[in-house]
């Protein structure tokens, strides 16, 4: 290329290239707009057809209702020999029928057009007693057998389609059955669309429409993308106007996309040169990222080592729990083995009492034997409770006496209470107060909460534990309270976290197990601190047996 040719290119080349790109973009816009407009019209036709099918189906269904009612012998009999009571029963029947077919209203008129029964007889705007003889759908039904009219209701003031059927023959008509349809739901659905939709009758008057301002007026002027379709069997015509701007907008977007592609090609060259400059910066940043990732990986390794140490501690706690479970089995076995010699001791003491001759009122030998019998009975009660406490739960819920469960729990915790000199009080519990639970596991929860309170009160001379009972309609809430130091803040925030404990020899599983047991009963266990934040206060929610 000569110097002259080069100068000509730089003078006219960019202008020619710009003009060529502009023509290409204009052609792209026209083709895209044409194709998208065709697709928009096809979609509108499909939408209109679906709406027509829905309207035609509803009209056919409601029309058949009027035809069936017009030949119903009960309605014919009522019209022939009508009394107010019969009309009332007919209104009630129409009300039940309308609940199934979901029309606006169904009513029956006499030959003068006065409504004698209506499904809306309960409403203030009831049609009963209103004359509709001037309506064309009444006159047409009496003359030709059926009528149809879309009009504004004279009583309800709501527009609707009236479908009427004559009762009786043409020579001796008895009245008219009318089914009124409103299309509020249909029109509300149309309003949610971007398309303007309306229906015209045979006279070109608008009946149904997504724009209420058009109702009962002439059909609006059609736009460039408007489809129409007849509603079968109604004389109606559905019109659907689709605004063309989405097609124009999308075509413009496609054209803009083409322009962006061209611009992207121009920017690609500039980007390539800038990448060389960025590459050096990237290498520096990569080195910094590697250093940062190395520090993060080191931190993750440290956290994993801590988690493994925590897991080892939890496994050790589980081993301790298994040891305690074995200890419970051993204690149950010991209680079982003690029971036989204990029964023998009690029996020998009773025989000794009978063998001692009647003497003084306070005979030391007789008193000693009596004490042996009483102590044997007490030991037997304790061992029986231990065996019941250690016995495996059957999983069957039953009516459990709250009073018996509380007393058994006190006996199981009696030795510790005697050692610590902790007082326990409770209100009078009725014998017939029954809980939907399982006695063994309910006692397990009560014993656990009582022993926790006893441990919290260890070493205090004024230690006190008490029971509060709040009865609801179907449930009962039990509060086990103490005047100890309360829960540590760390525990109080999440008291049912497994393996969380402040005891030197504790496992942190007792409260979790207790809560699980109560939830199996349909209840719950929660920490409900007192208003003054002193001591601990545990709430047990249980279901009354009578309300299960």
The span from the CA of 187 to the CA of 196, in Å, is 11
Q: 3-state DSSP call for residue 461?
A: coil
Q: Are 411 and 521 in the same domain?
A: yes
Confidence of residue 540 (pLDDT cuts 50, 70, 90): very high
Residue 423 lies in a domain: yes
The span from the CA of 279 to the CA of 291, in Å, is 19
Q: Among the listed ranges 65-74, 325-334, 399-408, 443-452, which one has the minimum average pLDDT value? A: 325-334
Q: How far is CA 134 from its chain centroid?
A: 53
List of residues 6+ apart from 402 with CB closer than 8 A = 429, 433, 434, 435, 476, 478
Instruction: Identify which of 110, 109, 108 has the alpha carbon closest to the alpha carbon of residue 119.
Output: 108
Q: Would the pLDDT of 176 be above 80?
A: yes
Instruction: Identify which of 498, 484, 499 has the alpha carbon closest to the alpha carbon of residue 529.
Output: 484
Q: Are 369 and 486 in the same domain?
A: no
Residue 333 lies in a domain: yes
Q: Are 387 and 398 in the same domain?
A: no
Q: Quote the pLDDT of residue 290.
A: 87
Confidence of residue 428 (pLDDT cuts 50, 70, 90): very high
The span from the CA of 465 to the CA of 474, in Å, is 27
Q: Quote the pLDDT of residue 203.
A: 81
Q: Mean pLDDT: which of 52-56, 291-295, 319-323, 531-535 is highest?
A: 291-295
Name the average pLDDT for the chain.
79
Cβ neighbour number for residue 207 with a 10 Å cutoff: 20
Which residue, 112, 147, 182, sits at the end of a domain? 182
Q: Are 357 and 435 in the same domain?
A: no
Average pLDDT over residues 219-248: 75
Residue 204, by phi and psi: left (phi above 0), alpha (psi -120 to 50) or beta? left
Q: Would the pLDDT of 190 be above 60?
A: yes
Q: Mean pLDDT: which of 158-172, 222-236, 251-265, 317-331 is highest?
A: 158-172
Q: Are 194 and 146 in the same domain?
A: no
Could you tell me if 444 and 459 are in contact, meaning their C-beta atoms sit under 8 angstroms apart? no
Cβ neighbour number for residue 160 with a 10 Å cutoff: 21
pTM: 0.40
The more confidently predicted of residues 252 and 428 is 428
Q: Are 540 and 419 in the same domain?
A: yes
How confident is the model over 472-516, as pLDDT tens digits?
Answer: 999 999 999 998 888 888 787 888 877 767 675 566 677 888 888
Instruction: Identify which of 186, 203, 201, 195 has the alpha carbon closest to the alpha carbon of residue 237.
Output: 201
Could you tell me if 529 and 537 are in contact, meaning their C-beta atoms sit under 8 angstroms apart? yes
List of residues 6+ apart from 98 with CB closer than 8 A = 105, 106, 119
Q: Are 150 and 202 in the same domain?
A: no
According to DSSP, the β-strands at 105-109 and 524-527 are unpaired
Q: How far is CA 72 from its chain centroid?
A: 45
Could you tell me if 115 and 91 are in contact, meaning their C-beta atoms sit under 8 angstroms apart? no
Q: 3-state DSSP call for residue 391?
A: coil
How confident is the model over 348-393, as pLDDT tens digits?
Answer: 777 777 777 766 555 777 778 777 877 777 676 656 655 655 555 5
The more confidently predicted of residues 386 and 181 is 181
Q: Would the pLDDT of 144 be above 80?
A: yes
Q: Are 525 and 398 in the same domain?
A: yes
**Burial of 116 (C-beta count, 10 Å sphere; 0-12/13-18/19+):** buried
Eight-class DSSP state of 145 = S
Residue 252 lies in a domain: no
Q: Which range marks the domain in which residue 303 is found?
A: 283-391
**CATH number of the domain enclosing 324:** 1.10.287
Which residue, 182, 206, 231, sits at the end of a domain? 182
How confident is the model over 256-311, as pLDDT tens digits?
Answer: 776 677 677 667 767 877 887 788 788 888 888 888 888 888 888 988 888 888 77
**CATH number of the domain enclosing 137:** 3.30.450.20
Residue 429 lies in a domain: yes
**CATH number of the domain enclosing 519:** 3.30.565.10
Confidence of residue 456 (pLDDT cuts 50, 70, 90): confident
Q: Are 415 and 369 in the same domain?
A: no
Could you tell me if 208 and 52 are in contact, meaning their C-beta atoms sit under 8 angstroms apart? no
Residue 335 lies in a domain: yes
**CATH number of the domain enclosing 211:** 3.30.450
Residue 31 lies in a domain: yes
Residue 274 lies in a domain: no
How confident is the model over 55-84, as pLDDT tens digits?
Answer: 877 777 777 777 788 888 878 877 777 778
Confidence of residue 395 (pLDDT cuts 50, 70, 90): low
Q: Are 82 and 221 in the same domain?
A: no
Eight-class DSSP state of 545 = G
Q: Are 432 and 533 in the same domain?
A: yes
The span from the CA of 464 to the CA of 481, in Å, is 8
Q: Among the listed ranges 250-254, 315-319, 385-389, 435-439, which one has the minimum average pLDDT value? A: 385-389
Q: Give the total number of structural domains in the chain.
A: 4
Q: Among the listed ranges 82-96, 140-154, 339-353, which one has the minimum average pLDDT value? A: 339-353
Which residue, 131, 161, 182, sits at the end of a domain? 182
Q: Are 42 and 191 in the same domain?
A: yes
Residue 250 lies in a domain: no
């Amino acid at each position: 290329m000569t110097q002259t040719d080069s100068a000509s290119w730089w003078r006219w080349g960019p202008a020619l290239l710009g003009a060529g790109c502009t023509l290409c973009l204009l052609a792209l816009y026209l083709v895209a707009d044409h194709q998208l407009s065709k697709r928009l019209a096809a979609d509108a036709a499909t939408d209109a057809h679906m709406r027509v099918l829905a309207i035609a189906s509803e009209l056919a269904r409601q029309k058949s209702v009027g035809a069936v009612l017009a030949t119903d012998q009960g309605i014919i009999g009522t019209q022939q020999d009508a009394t107010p009571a019969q009309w009332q029963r007919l209104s009630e029947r129409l009300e039940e029928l309308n609940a199934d077919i979901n029309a606006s209203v169904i009513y029956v008129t006499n030959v003068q057009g006065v409504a004698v029964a209506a499904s809306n007889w309960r409403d203030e705007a009831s049609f009963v007693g209103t004359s509709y003889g001037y309506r064309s759908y009444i006159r047409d039904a009496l003359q030709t057998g059926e009528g149809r009219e879309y009009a504004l209701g004279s009583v309800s003031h709501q527009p609707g389609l009236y479908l009427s059927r004559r009762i009786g023959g043409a020579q001796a008509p008895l009245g008219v059955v009318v089914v009124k349809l409103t299309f509020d739901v249909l029109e509300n659905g149309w309003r949610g669309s971007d398309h303007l939709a309306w229906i015209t009758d045979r006279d070109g008057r608008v009946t149904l429409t997504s724009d209420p301002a058009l109702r009962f007026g002439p059909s609006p002027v059609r736009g460039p993308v408007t489809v129409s379709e007849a509603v079968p069997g109604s004389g109606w015509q559905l019109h659907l106007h689709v605004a063309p701007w989405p097609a124009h907008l999308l075509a413009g977007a496609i054209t803009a996309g083409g322009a962006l592609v061209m611009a992207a090609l121009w920017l690609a060259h500039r980007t390539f040169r800038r990448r060389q400059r960025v590459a050096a910066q990237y290498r520096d940043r990569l080195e910094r990222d590697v250093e940062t990732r190395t520090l993060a990986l080191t931190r993750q390794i440290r956290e994993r080592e801590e988690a493994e140490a925590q897991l080892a501690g939890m496994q050790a706690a589980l081993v301790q729990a298994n040891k305690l479970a074995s200890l419970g089995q051993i204690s149950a076995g010991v209680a079982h083995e003690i029971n036989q010699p204990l029964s023998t001791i009690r029996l020998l003491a009773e025989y000794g009492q009978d063998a001692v001759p009647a003497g003084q009122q306070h005979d030391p030998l007789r008193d000693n034997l009596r004490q042996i019998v009483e102590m044997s009975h007490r030991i037997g009660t304790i061992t029986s409770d231990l065996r019941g406490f250690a016995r495996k739960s059957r999983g069957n819920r039953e009516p459990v006496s709250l009073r018996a469960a509380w007393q058994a729990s006190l006996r199981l915790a009696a030795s510790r209470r005697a050692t610590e000199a902790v007082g326990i009080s409770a209100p009078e519990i009725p014998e017939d107060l029954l809980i939907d639970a399982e006695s063994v596991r309910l006692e397990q929860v009560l014993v656990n909460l009582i022993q926790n309170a006893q441990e919290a009160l260890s070493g205090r001379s004024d230690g006190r534990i008490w029971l509060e009972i709040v009865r609801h309609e179907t449930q009962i809430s039990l509060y086990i309270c103490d005047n100890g130091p309360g829960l540590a803040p760390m525990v109080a925030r999440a008291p049912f976290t497994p393996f969380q404990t402040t005891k030197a020899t504790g496992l942190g599983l007792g409260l979790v197990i207790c809560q699980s047991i109560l939830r199996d009963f349909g209840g719950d266990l929660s920490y409900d601190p007192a208003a003054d934040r002193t001591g601990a206060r545990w709430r047990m929610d249980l279901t009354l047996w009578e309300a299960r």
